[in-house]
Amino acid sequence: MTIVENYFFELRNLTKNFGLTKVLNKIFLSFIEGDRVLIVGPNGSGKSTLIKILLGLLSKSSGEIMLEGKEVNRPPLFESSFLGHNSLLYAPLSVLENLKLLLRLRDGSEELNLILEEWSLLTQKNKLISELSKGNEWRAALAVVLNRTASFLYLDEPTTSLDQSGRELFLGNFNKIALNKKLTVIATHDVRGLAETINRVVVLKHGQVSKDIRGNFKEAQLSSLYLEACS
Amino acid sequence: MSELLLLLKKDFSIESRTKEVLVLILTMSLLLGTITAVGINSAFLSPGNLNLMFPTFLWLVFIFSSTLSISKSFEYEFRNDAIYGLLLSGTSSTKVYLSKLIANVVLSLIGQLVTFFVLVILANFTIPSILCELIIISALVALGFSAVSTILIPMSQTSKLKSMLLPLLLLPLLFPILFAGLELSAALFDSGKIDWGSSWISILLAFDVIYVALGVNLFEHVILD
Amino acid sequence: MEKFLFRNKVFEAILFILTFLSVLYANYLIFLVVPNERVMGPVQRIFYFHVGCAIATYFSVAILLMSALGHFSNKHFLWDILGKVAGEVALVFCLIVMITGMIWGHSAWNTWFRWEPRLVTFLILLLILLGLNLLRSFGDKDKIPNQAAVFSILAAINVPLVVFSVKILPKAAQLHPQVVQDRGLKDPSFVHAMIVSMIAMILLQFLLTWVAGKIELKKIERELNLT
């Protein structure tokens, strides 16, 4: 019996080549609203490339991308918020200036102060990004990406540069915010604390989807899925 | 519109803080202008000949000093992939292009004027009072220069040659406005006013309009893969 | 389009035969039929290749523009191959125009270069095409298709601007014997040879583009099969 789901976002037969290397090979993925997806896989399996194609930063080599039933060349960037290997912040501008620019907030607004407070950036707010430590730069980056009003959230290794308190801050915010997004996709090697939010796990190996499981997960299940994927 | 102002504020904040492009343009103009002036003085050009050749020196020094300096204007867009953060915040690539264009026009115009004064002072060039008209011609040339360079800078930054590829791509495309700048400023120094009906004005305007239009439409393809 | 471009063997065969015959005929006319030109003598014959290659270069640039527009319409990799080979062929033909122009010029005016419309235009075009080919050589491999297509459009639009601005440069510098426009060609065989050589060079340009494209395509297909 086929269950007809309301897929609002689909990848059909999607392939991505970089020169002659096939990084993603005939991927079929369909998303329903409220999907909170964890992507796991060994290094070089194509996780980052897949996320960049989903969010519209990278174009596909072949295949179809369907958004709300219509085929698109690439999804519009303004629908997505994303954080990958770079902080996406302007180095010569201060934390405050970056937040104001990228979140379109006014000087002295309450929202701005709340964000700075939440991410322990009040004392750092006038420091330039280039003057911050990596950990603080990453807090600023996460403050931006998690406070965007875009409907899709994409995260690629978001906790690599964070210390323990930063991780806890991230998880607390992530769990709250992911529940309000149409689609959340996170690729990470650190699956601790994600169990309460994730409702779908996709395993990527050699550019292909090797497992795609929906459901509620316990922390142990996520860990074993991750270990199995990377072995 | 307010978004464009926001972007312009960002570009001018970065430039006023780092001053990298400005310092490069000023230093390059001074350096290349000095070298040119040395050449002029060694040649012992008579005032008549100097007047004839002045537009050439002016535009050559400007083109070289600006081409070598302007690629810095995208330095912080690609550091930390900040430009993608900007696009993700909801700004269209068109507005990003326009704000970069305006910033580059202002910087190029400053470069042109500095070149002019350096050469006037060092080469003892006597000029009639045509500064206003010269600024107009310079602005039109700066617009064409910036329209093309703003599209080409991201291309050269991602290549193996980095900013050294920019002159190889940019200079061959600038001949129409180089000719126009030369002919119009020569006529200006000669007669003291601009002939608005001249074909060179048409070429300059056509170049500017065409390349800004192309830039607005093609910028996205240069930034996104 | 993807079934046809660089793959259609019938078109290839016809193109090859037509090119072979027209080049043969053109050479026959140029070297055996047309009489010596009164003023310049036998050296004037290089003029036919010079003009033919100039027209062929313009056709190549048009193909370049077409491949760029095609690339933006559907991103098929064949457009990128077409752009790559058209850029190379255009560069070769442009070089031939410059060299033949300088040889002819040296015989006519005893200088290697004169600032007259066609040579200046092609000198600028040469620099543009050099830039394009350098971009393809040194650019980021993944970004080249997009970037080269953008540059091709910028370059193709530049050509008419250059042609027009060179035309209105001060007349004192211009010295190109306007063989066709001003004095006209006295002997009808001159005109006939000129038209045939133009057609021959245009067909040669198409053939070279096709063959080069085929080689590129085979290279890619072989490497895709190996990986």
DSSP annotation string for B173-220: GGHHHHHHHHHHHHHHHHHSS--TTSHHHHHHHHHHHHHHHHHHHHHH
> Is the separation of the CB atoms in C51 and C197 below 8 Å?
yes
In this prediction, what percent of chain B has a pLDDT beyond 90? 61
- The answer to whether A59 contacts chain C (CB < 8 Å) is yes
Alpha-carbon separation of residue B139 from A45, A74, C166 (angstroms): 51, 38, 22
Is a pLDDT exceeding 60 seen at residue C96? yes
Dihedral in degrees, nearest 10, Cα atoms A73, C86, B219, A70: -10
- Average pLDDT over chain B, rounded to whole? 90
What integer pLDDT is reported at residue C140 of this predicted model?
A: 82
What integer pLDDT is reported at residue C181 of this predicted model?
A: 39
The answer to whether B88 contacts A97, with C-beta atoms less than 8 Å apart, is no
Alpha-carbon separation of residue B164 from A18, B68, B149, C136 (angstroms): 25, 8, 13, 14
Q: Give all strands of the β-sheet with A152-156 in edge-to-edge order.
A: A80-83, A152-156, A183-187, A35-40, A200-205, A208-214
Average pLDDT over residues A148-162: 90
What integer pLDDT is reported at residue A4 of this predicted model?
A: 56
Is a pLDDT exceeding 70 seen at residue B217? yes
Report H helices in C110-226. Answer: 117-138, 144-167, 188-226
The answer to whether A20 contacts C142, with C-beta atoms less than 8 Å apart, is no
Residue given tokens 């909801």 in the structure block: B90
DSSP notation for A78-134: GGEEEE-SS----TTSBHHHHHHHHHT--TT-HHHHHHHHHTT-TTTTTSBGGGS-H
Helices (H) and strands (E) in chain B, counts: 10, 0
Q: For residues C54 and C35, what is the distance between their CA atoms, to the nearest angstrom? A: 23
Average pLDDT over residues A172-191: 91
Average pLDDT over residues C35-50: 80
- The answer to whether B127 contacts chain C (CB < 8 Å) is no
Confidence of residue C46 (pLDDT cuts 50, 70, 90): confident
Q: Is A189 exposed, middle or buried (0-12, 13-18, 19+ CB in 10 A)?
A: middle
Looking only at the bridges linking them, the beta strands covering A62-67 and A70-72 are antiparallel
Which of C128, C161, C168 shows the shortest C-beta gap to B172?
C128
What integer pLDDT is reported at residue A79 of this predicted model?
A: 87
Which of C135, C139, C165 shows the shortest C-beta gap to B176?
C165
pLDDT in tens, C55-78: 999 999 999 999 999 999 887 888
Is a pLDDT exceeding 50 seen at residue C183? no
- ∠ CA B133-B137-B143, nearest 5°, is 140
Which of A132-146, B49-63, B101-115, C76-90 is least confident?
A: B49-63
Which of A79-93, A181-195, B22-36, C164-178 is least confident?
A: C164-178
Which of A155-164, A221-230, B78-87, B125-134 is least confident?
A: B125-134
Scanning every residue of chain B, which has its alpha carbon at the shortest distance from the alpha carbon of A153? B88
Looking at chain A, which subunits does it touch, using at least 3 CB pairs closer than 8 Å as the criterion?
Answer: B, C
For residue A211, the cross-strand partners are A203
The alpha carbon of A99 is separated from its chain's Cα centroid by a whole number of angstroms, namely 19
pTM of the model as a whole? 0.90
Is a pLDDT exceeding 90 seen at residue A61? no
Report CA Rg, chain A: 18
What integer pLDDT is reported at residue A3 of this predicted model?
A: 54
Residue given tokens 């001053």 in the structure block: B19
Q: Rounded to a whole number, what is the distance in Å from the CA of A139 to chain C's nearest CA?
A: 31
List the one residue out of B108, B106, B125 whose CA is nearest residue B55. Answer: B125
Q: For residues C114 and C142, what is the distance between their CA atoms, to the nearest angstrom? A: 41
Q: For residues C175 and C171, what is the distance between their CA atoms, to the nearest angstrom? A: 9
Neighbours of B5 (CB within 10 A): 10
- ∠ CA A188-A194-A199, nearest 5°, is 100
- The answer to whether B59 contacts chain C (CB < 8 Å) is no
For residue A156, the cross-strand partners are A187
pLDDT in tens, B171-190: 999 999 999 999 998 888 88
Q: Read off φ and ψ for residue B224, nearest 5 degrees.
A: -95, 145
Q: Rounded to a whole number, what is the distance in Å from the CA of B141 to chain A's nearest CA?
A: 30
In this prediction, what percent of chain C has a pLDDT beyond 90? 54
Token pair listed for C144: 């080249």
Is a pLDDT exceeding 90 seen at residue C4? no
The answer to whether B80 contacts A87, with C-beta atoms less than 8 Å apart, is yes
Looking at chain B, which subunits does it touch, using at least 3 CB pairs closer than 8 Å as the criterion?
Answer: A, C
> Is the separation of the CB atoms in A53 and A75 below 8 Å?
no
DSSP run (H or E) holding A193: none
Is a pLDDT exceeding 70 seen at residue C176? no
Residue given tokens 């971009």 in the structure block: C135
